Structure 1
Amino acid sequence: MSRLAFRDGVLFFPVTPFDAADRVDQAVLAQHISSGVDAGAAGVFAACGTGEFHALSISEFGAVVSTAVAAAAGRVPVVAGAGGPLGHARECARVAEEAGADGLLVLPPYLVSGPQAGLVAYVEAIAAATTLPLIVYHRANAALGEDTVRRLAEIEQVVGIKDGVGDIALMQRFVLAAAAEGRDLLFFNGLLTAELSQAAYRAIGVPLYSSAVFAMAPDLAVAFFDAYLAGDDAAQRRLLDRFYVPLVRLRDETPGFAVSLVKAGLRIQGLPVGPVRAPLVDPTSEQEDRLRAILDAGRALL
């Protein structure tokens, strides 16, 4: 099983645009993804968390993935989400492979919690439905243990682990466990607004991170990434203090704003991506005004 060949840059989690009739707007999605790749995305993660995977039917999911593959045009890998009820996850895996995706991000099962052996079996069942490489998302009711990571490392199709829990010490043990198994797995910082925690993750051998900010403000996300890569602590601190921390404060006001604010930011900048779907809610006009001010403050640093 080959590794996913991400280029240097920020991992891009595009939103899923909806039109006035609440249909996936493939034309806007193609524009969104193509411009993101042009802006320097290292890879495209389509129909994942920021892309409202939870709210898509299987036909909509297929439309999003096929649009992402066409828009990326082979320039960077396209990874699609697959998760929820096992039957749905397996169907997503098959549809994504048929659409030309390069890999899958295995999202948590639906609602129920199982033992660690059950989580391994869940990943194995998805792997059996596809030949694509898998990145397993460690979060929520799919929180992994160290021994589980060792078992996942034995599955050839598993090429990476994405962390959404935030336990740095545990993630360090995951990195060491994979190395002990002789697997050079990819490890990702997948926390919300990962820029705030990436310095700590890089120190334990986790250089990759996802950036929801890139989806609405690639110029700011790339500026932070360039400073991060260059070890420019002062530039990182300025962006954290004046842009990322205020954004996180606004994000934390309402559950689901990690997605809703990204869509609002795109609408503010003229891309008609539509609203979020229930159970998420869009920001109020007052919150959108604050988001606009936060974006302006960030860009003033550039």
Structure 2
Amino acid sequence: MNTNENKLFPVLLTPFDLKAKVDYDVLGRLIDFYLAAGAKGFFANCFSSEMYSLSEDERLELAKYIVHRVKGRVPVLATGSFGLTIFDKAEFTRKIYAIGVDAVILITSHYANADESDNVLLQNFEKMLRLTDNIPMGLYECPVPYKRILKADVFKKLLATDRIFYHKDATVDPDVMKAKLEIAKEFPSLQIFESYTPNALQSLNCGAKGISSISGIFFPELVAWLCNNATNHDKTSKVHWLQEELTPVDELIHDAYPMSAKYFLRRRGLPIRLISRAYAKELTAKQKQLLDEVYNKFINWCATLHIEPVNVEEVLLPPGRLDPAF
């Protein structure tokens, strides 16, 4: 990955058909849409992908399809730390890396229970890295099964293994994030991505290499613009204005997620169904009204910044799952 630019790395939703099976035709169109919006990479098989509701075979096929569709244009990352034991997690990691992803992401809370010490965490990570040869890895402080935020000293010890090249940070406390970014300066091959939209601009200005947030699913053009212009002194006022606009809507778009994202993308013209394995309820009339208001804000933000929203009709290429190469 080019380390000299800030990047939007969308987390990929998993679309489902009427039988709640993965809809690869729609997934291909989502990928095309985000590439057109400025995505510089993808994080697949993540929490937003409803990874805990997918079978092992579905996780592998999902990653295989995404790698095929992207065709090397941008990096693809995928979670690999699934299984009851460290040996199971290592085996799955080897399987998903063999598909062609650029790095395998390890969920921090998969390596120690909530009541276990950081020493247990480090011991399990050491065993995991030893069992996975030289596969490049990344870290993600996923909120499920619980959010395990890495302390600065633990973070540094993991980076010192020379196996960690990506970190998706879920720290809400900006001071803790700054401490990690300071440590990252000692490891030039590492790239840290901010997942918490209210801290996006501050993190980019302190050295984060991009954004991998839920907001990037809803309005990728704006998040890509923020990445591209965060340190552009000629656009400082507009950059700060956009951050101030995005911050209060972040809580709204998290409500009923990922169904909220699927509803919003349908408003944008993408053929994704309102079907989720993770969120079984239908959206209420009030939730839809609030998302419609956010959609109107999105249109106004684009107009203010002179950003042309992606024309969905122009990027919706024919379905690609039946391509013989796949």
Which TM-score tier does this pair reach, normalised by the shorter chain? Answer: 0.7 to 0.9
Alignment of 1:17-36 (within 5 A): 17-36=15-34
| CA 288–198 in structure 1, closer or farther in 2 if over 3 Å, else same | same
Q: Deviations over 1:143-172 (max 9, x none)?
A: 222221222122121123321122322233
**Structure 1 counterpart of 2:283:** 283
| CA 161–265 in structure 1, closer or farther in 2 if over 3 Å, else same | same
Mapped partners of 1:187, 1:278: distance in 2: 27
Contact 1:17 1:25 in 2 (8 A): yes
Contact 1:227 1:235 in 2 (8 A): no
Q: Which amino acid aligns with 1:14?
A: L
Contact 1:17 1:29 in 2 (8 A): yes
Aligned-pair distance for 1:78? 0.3
Alignment of 1:172-187 (within 5 A): 172-179=178-185, 184-187=189-192
TM-score computed with the length of structure 1 as normaliser: 0.84
Runs (4+) of structure 1 moved beyond 6 Å? none
| CA 46–213 in structure 1, closer or farther in 2 if over 3 Å, else same | same
> Given the alignment of the two structures, is residue 16 of structure 1 paired with residue 14 of structure 2, yes or no?
yes
> Given the alignment of the two structures, is residue 40 of structure 1 paired with residue 46 of structure 2, yes or no?
no
Mapped partners of 1:149, 1:214: distance in 2: 26
Mapped partners of 1:188, 1:240: distance in 2: 16
Mapped partners of 1:170, 1:8: distance in 2: 20
**Structure 1 counterpart of 2:232:** 230
Aligned-pair distance for 1:262? 1.5
Aligned-pair distance for 1:66? 0.7
**Structure 2 counterpart of 1:263:** 262
**Structure 1 counterpart of 2:113:** 112
Q: Which amino acid aligns with 2:191?
A: L
Aligned-pair distance for 1:69? 0.4
Mapped partners of 1:164, 1:187: distance in 2: 11
**Structure 2 counterpart of 1:190:** 195
Contact 1:9 1:222 in 2 (8 A): yes
Mapped partners of 1:179, 1:237: distance in 2: 25
**Structure 2 counterpart of 1:78:** 76
Q: Which amino acid aligns with 2:180?
A: F
**Structure 1 counterpart of 2:103:** 103
| CA 224–172 in structure 1, closer or farther in 2 if over 3 Å, else same | closer
SS where residue 40 of structure 2 aligns? strand
Count of aligned positions:
291
**Structure 2 counterpart of 1:135:** 138
**Structure 1 counterpart of 2:220:** 218
Alignment partner for residue 56 of structure 1, among 54, 57, 61? 54
| CA 8–239 in structure 1, closer or farther in 2 if over 3 Å, else same | closer
Mapped partners of 2:17, 2:248: distance in 1: 30
**Between 53-62 and 277-286, the greater mean CA deviation after superposition:** 277-286
Q: Deviations over 1:190-246 (max 9, x none)?
A: 22xx2x21222134322322132332332333333344242423323443444x245
Q: Deviations over 1:232-264 (max 9, x none)?
A: 23323443444x245224235x4x53x332122
Contact 1:189 1:210 in 2 (8 A): yes
Contact 2:44 2:79 in 1 (8 A): yes
SS where residue 142 of structure 1 aligns? coil
**Structure 1 counterpart of 2:320:** none
SS where residue 212 of structure 2 aligns? strand
**Structure 1 counterpart of 2:315:** none
Contact 2:194 2:203 in 1 (8 A): yes
**Structure 1 counterpart of 2:175:** 169
Contact 1:86 1:109 in 2 (8 A): no
**Structure 1 counterpart of 2:89:** 89
**Larger gyration radius, structure 1 or structure 2:** 2
Alignment partner for residue 247 of structure 1, among 225, 246, 249? 249
